[in-house]
Amino acid sequence: MTALRQQRDPGRLLLRRLALLALLIAVAFAASGVWGVYQKERDSAVLRDQAEQEYEDLLSRESRLKEELAKLNSDRGMEAALRGQYSLAEEGEGLIIIVEPPAPAPLHATSTVMDWFKNTFSWW
């Protein structure tokens, strides 16, 4: 009987409930910490993907710039760049202007339907 009384003792019940409440608070605190770490991991994964994409873009840009630099290091490439940028011409080269033929004038009707009726039925 004494064991049953000890289990139903209001002081012990209060202590058990307080311990259970403290345990729930500790679990909630730990869960919030784990959730924060999870959020940070997701954010860092997104940032890592963005950084990798930017790195790939920079690598492709570097390769394009190296190709352009290789072209500009040759005489022919430098000449092509100068001609394109400044519209330069070599000695002895002339300018050819291509003129479009003039557009034909639109045809206008010399007489209208009313003029035709007037001429046809002039006797009336």
φ, ψ for residue 105, nearest 5 deg:
-65, 140
pLDDT tens, residue by residue, 41-82: 999 999 999 999 999 999 999 999 999 999 999 988 888 888
0.75 surpassed by pTM? no
pLDDT tens, residue by residue, 80-89: 888 888 877 7
Contact between 77 and 71 under an 8 Å Cβ cutoff? The reply is yes
DSSP secondary structure of 58-95: HHHHHHHHHHHHHHHHSHHHHHHHHHHHH----TT---
Going by C-alpha positions, the residue among 90, 58, 85, 62 that lies closest to residue 70 is 62
Confidence bin at 11 (pLDDT 50/70/90): confident
